């Protein structure tokens, strides 16, 4: 039977993934309303991925004999200054999520829960990739600055920044 401390940490993570999904959905919608087709598609897909991260946790908790808690969420930001702010926020959120995952990994070792430890390795690798991608995007946005032509190409090419998994 899964320990309560692990269960609490995993349920907390369910909330973090759901929060990320909603935040990225709000960002996607903001970009969509501005005709930034490529960027909005990227963010819609990213929001879906976060929901998948949440579902994976929900199923795991239930499989292990725990009870997943589906959380109420705060309304995410609806308005953003620009794309730079969006991707700064996204990177910040991913760094926070990585720290949370690492803390649960530490806890699984302390509690000798090797099944959950093994399950979390997927999230550890995923976080490395997500942080890397957010940094690449931010670097590109910094290079582009206010150049409209550069932004056009960025919007067109953003879907290709994902490395194959
Ligand atoms: Fe599921 Fe991007 O953290």
Q: What is the pTM of this model?
A: 0.94
Distance CA 135, CA 127 (A): 12
Say how many Å lie between the CA of residue 148 and the centre of ligand 1.
Answer: 30
Q: Is 20 in the pocket of ligand 1 (CB under 6 A)?
A: yes
Give 9-47 pLDDT, tens digit per residue.
999 999 999 999 999 999 999 999 999 999 999 999 999
Find the range with the poorest average confidence among 103-107, 119-123, 142-146.
142-146
Q: What is the pLDDT of residue 21?
A: 98
Q: Which residues of 49-83 are buried (b: 16+ CB within 10 A; e: fewer)?
A: bbbebbebbbebbeebebebeeeeeeebeeebeeb
Whether 164 has a pLDDT exceeding 60, the answer reads no
Q: Is 53 in the pocket of ligand 1 (CB under 6 A)?
A: yes
Give 75-103 pLDDT, tens digit per residue.
999 999 999 999 999 999 999 999 999 99
* 10 close to 61: Cβ distance less than 8 angstroms: yes
**Mean pLDDT score, 117-124:** 98
User: Which residue is closest in CA terms to ligand 1's atom 2?
Assistant: 94
Structural domains of the chain, ranges and CATH numbers in brackets: 4-160 (1.20.1260.10)
């Amino acid at each position: 039977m899964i320990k309560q401390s692990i269960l609490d940490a995993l349920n907390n993570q369910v909330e973090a993934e759901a929060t990320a999904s909603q935040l990225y959905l709000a960002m996607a919608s903001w970009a969509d309303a501005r005709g930034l087709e490529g960027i909005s598609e990227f963010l819609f897909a990213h929001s879906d991925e976060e929901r998948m991260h949440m579902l994976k946790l929900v199923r795991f908790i239930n499989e292990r004999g725990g009870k997943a808690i589906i959380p109420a969420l705060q309304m995410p930001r609806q308005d953003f200054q620009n794309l730079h702010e969006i991707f700064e926020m996204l990177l910040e959120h991913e760094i926070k999520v990585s720290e949370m995952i690492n803390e649960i990994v530490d806890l699984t070792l302390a509690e000798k829960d090797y099944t959950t430890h093994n399950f979390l390795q997927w999230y550890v690798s995923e976080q490395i990739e997500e942080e890397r991608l957010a940094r690449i995007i931010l670097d590109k946005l910094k290079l582009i600055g206010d150049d409209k032509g550069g932004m056009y190409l960025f919007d067109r090419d953003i879907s290709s920044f994902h490395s194959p998994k």
